[in-house]
Amino acid sequence: MPIIVNLDVMMAKRKMSLNELSEKVGLTLSNLSILKTGKAKAIRFSTLEVICEVLDCQPGDILEFTNE
């Protein structure tokens, strides 16, 4: 898939666990895990917005496009 999800990188930079992010964002652990592992087919802008607010980052810090 040409879109790479770097959620784990941002979580590590912010020293935040998946459980902590789940609580702050209001998503289930399973949904965040699917997103983190790159298995998600889509993400709502509202969800991306909340994740960016909690992690204090930009969408481009989490999502990356590659031609490979």
pLDDT tens, residue by residue, 16-68: 999 999 999 999 999 999 999 989 999 999 999 999 999 999 999 999 999 87
pTM for the full model?
0.90
Write down the pLDDT at residue 68. Answer: 74
- The CATH number assigned to the domain holding 45 equals 1.10.260.40
Q: Number of folded domains in the chain?
A: 1
Write down the pLDDT at residue 1. Answer: 62
One-letter amino acid identity for 45?
A: F
Residue listed under structure tokens 């895990």: 33
Write down the pLDDT at residue 67. Answer: 87
d(CA 59, CA 68): 20
Report the length, in residues, of the chain: 68
pLDDT at 6 over 90: yes
One-letter amino acid identity for 24?
A: K
Domain with 23 in it: 3-65
Write down the pLDDT at residue 8. Answer: 94
End-to-end CA distance of the chain: 8
